[in-house]
Chain A
Amino acid sequence: MREYRNLLIALGVMALLTPIGLYLPQILKAGAAWGEWGIHEVRKMVGYTPAGMEKTADTWKAPMPGYGPPGRGNIPSPTQGFYYLLSAFAGIVACGGAAYLLARWLTGRGRLPADRRP
């Protein structure tokens, strides 16, 4: 794993910097990405709520919606930052863990080291 140490450090540094991605848009008053508006925003923009959208928009309740604390409402800025950081590290563990298991399973299956092959 030694050759991966620098890469893991780089990921850690990136994670520590992620709150930039939360605060910079707030400072510059930038809104949601195009096509990622909440249902209320859509209503404001087109004057009605698309019926199918209304029915399916809440198909899934994510535990940390928008990389923030569970639930919605006004969340103080430092709390948002804390959860954003927490999400970054949780994301490293979840993505890294899932991908590692998948890679191990894919590369490991049917490929025993030469001395253990039957």
Chain B
Amino acid sequence: MHIPDGYLGPPTYLAAYAACSPLWAIAARKVRESLDTRRAPLLAISAAFSFLVMMFNVPLPGGSTGHAVGGVLIAIAVGPWGAMLSISIALVIQALLFGDGGVTAIGANCLNIAFVMPFTGYCTYRLLSPALSSDRGRAVAAAVGGWVGLNAAAFTTAVMFGIQPLLHTAPDGRALYSPYPLSVAIHAMMLQHMTVFGAVEAMITGIVISYLQRSRSAWILGQANSGSAR
């Protein structure tokens, strides 16, 4: 889901940077207001956790690979704005040090993976939580949130890929950047993410939440469970 350099034309990646900048500023303000010093190291743990989760490439035998992100899990622990900051940091490090995701595409990747994913997933989790208020219910709500979040991010990523032929096609009909149209990009991305990668994300989110609830580290979930995440 990391868009590399060369796939997006300048209008798209510049627009993505422009859209992301105010969101980063809001995230910084929200985190400053809501995160107390004792929980501050959680942001660091979250960034490192997300970085590591994304290293576990899940293969589709003979096909392509994908990976989970842990974005909704992080949003439940440190709030969606905290998740945006920590996942953005992971994405920047991945691009700069490891060439995973383009440098021109950092704005686009942060928008999809660090903003769309935690927010859609976290909202899903919060909407389902009242109906599923037991510990097990909340783990299920988190798992569903993980699936929704990953797929929402896959969808916006696919749209970014898919609009490139519309924006940049040479007179001879050749694409200048990402070559596949919306229909192909959305179909390919969603098929993979709605099935295998979404299931992996849901499993990781649900299992870790249900483990944390019973462990001595349950305080991590305190912020989300007391309803003061914003």
User: Is B89 interfacial (CB 8 A cutoff)?
Assistant: yes
User: Is B26 interfacial (CB 8 A cutoff)?
Assistant: no
User: Is B194 interfacial (CB 8 A cutoff)?
Assistant: no
User: Is B156 interfacial (CB 8 A cutoff)?
Assistant: no
Q: Which of B15-23, B132-140, B143-151, B214-222 contacts A (4 or more CB under 8 A)?
A: B214-222
**Structural contact, A21 and B67, CB atoms closer than 8 A:** yes
A46 to B178, CA, bound (A): 10
**Structural contact, B9 and A34, CB atoms closer than 8 A:** no
User: Is A28 interfacial (CB 8 A cutoff)?
Assistant: yes
**Structural contact, A62 and B96, CB atoms closer than 8 A:** yes
With an 8 Å Cβ cutoff, the count of chain B residues facing the other chain is: 75
Q: Provided the pairs A4-B45, A18-B56 are in contact, do residues A67 and B100 lie with their beta carbons within 8 angstroms?
A: yes
Q: Provided the pairs A88-B55, A98-B89, A108-B37 are in contact, do residues A14 and B49 lie with their beta carbons within 8 angstroms?
A: yes
**Structural contact, A99 and B86, CB atoms closer than 8 A:** yes
**Structural contact, B49 and A11, CB atoms closer than 8 A:** yes
A102 to B192, CA, bound (A): 35
Task: List B139-186 residues whose CB lies under 8 Å from chain A.
Answer: 157, 161, 168, 170, 174-179, 185
Minimal Cβ-Cβ distance residue in A for B27: A106
**Structural contact, A31 and B65, CB atoms closer than 8 A:** yes
Q: Provided the pairs A92-B52, A95-B48, A102-B89 are in contact, do residues A66 and B99 lie with their beta carbons within 8 angstroms?
A: yes
Chain B interface residues toward A at CB < 8 A: 1-7, 9, 28, 31-32, 35-37, 40-41, 43-53, 55-67, 85-86, 89-90, 92-100, 102-104, 157, 161, 168, 170, 174-179, 185, 188-189, 192, 215-217, 219-220
Assuming A54-B6, A84-B55, what are 15 further A-B pairs, CB within 8 angstroms?
A: A7-B220, A11-B48, A25-B59, A34-B189, A46-B175, A46-B179, A50-B179, A52-B177, A60-B99, A65-B99, A88-B55, A92-B52, A102-B85, A103-B31, A106-B31
